[in-house]
A and B are shown apart, each in its own frame.
Chain A
Amino acid sequence: MTTQILIAGFGGQGILFVGKFLANKGLLEGRQLSWLPSYGPEMRGGTANCSVVLSDDPVGSPIVHKPDVLIAMNLPSLDKYESAVVPGGTILVDSTLIERKVTRTDVKVFYVPATRLAQQNGLGNLGNMIMMGKTIRECALVSREGIEDAVRTVVSAKHPELYDVNLKALQLGYEFV
């Protein structure tokens, strides 16, 4: 099975980081995978997006044109990619930053006020990891087991204090209903 995931939002929201977490979790589970960032000037505050492909077979194209799962962290991203999601796919919306509802009726939708939850829980701008926690629960892309190891891999060795907050954010998202 192959799952194509697109994570999109503003530069600075940790879009590439959360994709990196997912890719590392996939690697630890022995999956085949690719991680592809948008690169260039959009990294400096414009829109940023990240394609992750998880598969049991060698990955063909690393570019996600038709996501099975879309994580939309801002309105321009939802506007741009809503129509691209495959029928029966899943859209996860940061409902703190996106006021409108998804108009598609042939996809599963989850609204998570991730940015607000992060602020309320002293997790700064870790709305990205809250969204990922929810994604892991609803889409079963990767197992919840062993998320600690994947967090440890992506958190910089220079900032070990970030390990706890990232893990907490993931758990908060996982448990959010």
Chain B
Amino acid sequence: MGNKVLMKGNEAIAEAAIRAGCRHYFGYPITPQTEVAAYMAKRMPKIGGTFLQAESEIAAINMVYGVAGTGRRVMTSSSSPGVSLKQEGISYIAGSDLPCLIVDVQRGGPGLGGIQPSQSDYFQATKGGGHGDYHLIVLAPASVQEMADLTGLAFDLADKYRVPAMLLADGTIGQMMEPVELAEAQEVTFTEKPWAVTGTKGKREHHVVNSLYLVPEELEKKNFERYERYAAIAKNETRWESFMMEDAEYCVVAFGIASRVSKNAVVAARKEGIKVGLIRPITLWPFPKQVLADAVEQVKGFLCVELSMGQMIEDVKLATGGKREVALCNRTGGMIMSPEEVLESIRKLAGGDK
């Protein structure tokens, strides 16, 4: 403990994944997440793992699907347009109830967009992305330390609930360096999963990994069962950080890099006598609804700060039930708001009411 190293966010994801026992990485290069693949290309061959640069994002996610079916820890990483390409495979993995990690280091969109940081894949990550009744566990790191910690957590949660997990980062957190303390490497001990397809050797009934259910009664039953697990995830795994909320009269809601900028603004607003705090969702799905619903009783208004045209704000409005004003401070297309812009929005929300 206490041994901090300086790493880029993208490298921290890769190293943390290896330490979490991931030995299979499939990807296709795209800015601003290429360091994940580069790190894996260097390390995986040395530790008996697989690094494979696929011919496309679609091929990569289907390779993930294949390894996930064997019960081994597996991941892919990409950035926004690449993650769009993976959506069919993600839906199949979710439909087959398999664990895996998908990393999205977001850049501006839609379309090919730009390469600067963005949070405009929020809808895609939390509301489906692919087709059908499913969710991903979506974790939103706000520091290089969390890039590492949440990567480990994502693998654990994915395994525990047999649900694919997504790390929803952005170009800033991917490219920046901060001191990080890495978890001890886990030994890769493989315990056969009771559902994994690993060859029966003629000794047991064969397992089926599939997302095709042509009998509607069967498919409905599958979906009901999956949503029971989602309910358990929402109950047990919702995570957030509260910052200066104890006596807050106004509440900023922001995740990832936007929450970092917002913290500066909250501290500055406090100096002006505005009692404002910050709630930072760490899980975007499950969304920390209850803590926001509880905050309704405490605060006079909410300010959603995000790098999109306003996506998470819909969940904030749902959680707060229209009982308080929910304002928006946003930039998009790869632009990032300054702390002053957030501060101005806080002032506006607070009116002259200090």
Contact = CB atoms under 8 A, between A and B. Distances in A.
- Which 9 residue pairs spanning A and B have beta carbons closest together? A60-B264, A35-B177, A60-B263, A36-B176, A61-B261, A65-B338, A40-B115, A61-B260, A61-B264
Contact of A61 (B31, B115, B339): B339
Given A61-B339, A62-B260, 12 more contacts: A20-B177, A23-B6, A27-B179, A34-B176, A34-B178, A35-B6, A36-B175, A37-B176, A60-B261, A60-B263, A60-B267, A63-B172
Interface of B: 4, 6, 31-32, 115-116, 171-172, 175-179, 257, 260-261, 263-264, 267, 336, 338-340
Nearest to B174: A39
A30 to B, nearest CB: 9
23 contacts: A20-B177, A23-B177, A27-B179, A32-B179, A33-B178, A34-B176, A36-B175, A39-B115, A39-B175, A40-B32, A59-B178, A59-B260, A60-B260, A60-B263, A60-B339, A61-B257, A61-B261, A61-B264, A61-B339, A62-B172, A62-B260, A63-B261, A65-B338
Interface string A76-109: 0000000000000000000000000000000000
Interface of A: 20, 23-24, 27, 32-37, 39-40, 59-63, 65
Nearest to A51: B176
Contacts of A34: 176-178
A56 to B, nearest CB: 14
B175 A37 contact: yes
Contacts of A23: 6, 177
A37 B32 CA distance: 12
Contacts of A40: 31-32, 115-116
A150 to B, nearest CB: 11
Contacts of A63: 172, 261, 336, 338
A120 to B, nearest CB: 32
Contacts of A32: 179
Contacts of A65: 338-340
B176 A62 contact: yes
Nearest to A39: B175
A32 B31 CA distance: 27
A67 to B, nearest CB: 13
A40 B267 CA distance: 32
Nearest to A31: B179
Contacts of A62: 172, 176, 178, 257, 260
- Which of A20, A34, A35, A61 is packed against the most chain B CB atoms within 10 Å? A61
B261 A36 contact: no
Contacts of B175: 36-37, 39
Nearest to B171: A39
A60 B259 CA distance: 8
Contacts of B4: 27
A37 B178 CA distance: 12
B59 to A, nearest CB: 26
B178 A35 contact: yes
B181 to A, nearest CB: 12
A32 B263 CA distance: 16
A35 B178 CA distance: 6
Contacts of B115: 39-40
Contacts of B264: 60-61
Contacts of B261: 60-61, 63
A65 B4 CA distance: 27
A63 B257 CA distance: 10
A27 B7 CA distance: 11
Nearest to B114: A40
A24 B172 contact: no
A119 B153 CA distance: 51
A34 B175 CA distance: 11
Contacts of A39: 31-32, 115, 171, 175
A145 B90 CA distance: 52
B120 to A, nearest CB: 18
A27 B180 CA distance: 10
Contacts of A61: 257, 260-261, 263-264, 339
A60 B336 CA distance: 14
A141 B286 CA distance: 42
A39 B170 CA distance: 13
A36 B10 CA distance: 13
B172 A33 contact: no
A37 B176 CA distance: 7
